[in-house]
Homo-oligomer: A and B are copies of this chain.
Amino acid sequence: MLEFVPQAYTRADEAFDCLQTAIVKGDLTPGEKIGEVELCSRFHLTRGPLREALGRLESRGLLVRRPHAGVKVVSVSADELIELYRIRELMEGLAARQAAERMTDAEIAALRATLDTHETMIEQAQGQAYYQAEGDYDFHHRIATGSRNTKLTQMLLGDLYYMVRMYRYRLSTSSGRPHMALGEHRNIVDAIANRDGELAEFLMKRHIHAARKNIEQKIRDGELTF
């Protein structure tokens, strides 16, 4: 029956999720030195599972750890954000190409459905924040998994997206171009539906390239502060 099993959720997993969302949402500010005991009391955990979670988060680059000195959330810079988008441009381009070759029709239909949801969200004005925060993430998430490329999916979902979401919360960047982004998304889905991998890759790369240019402009205008 292929039912989704919650897969024995351990305390360490819980700790990992808690810390991750806390970092992403900015509850833990970058550079802030944080003690293990404080984290324990804050999230109602014990130090064992917490330390295991810290290890995982460190190897994912969300926090840095100096032996016997403590842990702190990674400090972020404008340059690193730009570099991140350069990487995204390449990897998501590849993901789009392979998704066009490998996604099932059902997955493509589901992808279209999410875009419809986004559209109504945007039309209802209040949706802009939602769109930028989670809707866009959902779209890219589906394409990444649709690529059937294990390592690529792992890197996008496990590394890059958390970073991107962290920056988004930090910079409170409603990137300001939801309508345009939605149109670009639709074109990408069309290319995937037509099984045109080359075009899908091109459009995806241009999509992320545009997003990067948008951010660079905002940085120059001083709209984004770090």
Residues of A at the B interface (CB closer than 8 Å) are 7-10, 12, 48, 51-53, 55-56, 58-61, 66-68, 80, 83-84, 86-87, 90-91, 93-94, 149-152, 154-155, 158-160, 163
Contact = CB atoms under 8 A, between A and B. Distances in A.
Nearest to A80: B150
Question: Is the contact region of chain A dominated by helix, strand, or loop, or is it mixed?
Answer: helix
A140 to B, nearest CB: 17
Contacts of A59: 56, 59-60, 158
Contacts of A68: 8
Contacts of A151: 61, 80, 83-84, 87, 159-160, 163
A160 B155 CA distance: 10
**6 pairs of A and B residues whose beta carbons are closest in the complex:** A8-B67, A90-B90, A56-B59, A52-B55, A83-B149, A55-B55
B84 A94 contact: no
A55 B12 contact: yes
Contact of A152 (B66, B67, B87, B94): B87
Number of copies of chain A assembled together: 2
A53 to B, nearest CB: 8
A154 B61 contact: yes
A152 B80 CA distance: 10
Contacts of A8: 66-68
A84 B152 CA distance: 8
Nearest to A163: B151
B90 A86 contact: no
Given A80-B150, A90-B90, 19 more contacts: A7-B66, A8-B68, A9-B67, A48-B48, A53-B55, A55-B55, A59-B60, A61-B151, A61-B154, A83-B149, A83-B152, A86-B149, A86-B152, A87-B91, A87-B94, A87-B155, A90-B91, A91-B91, A151-B163
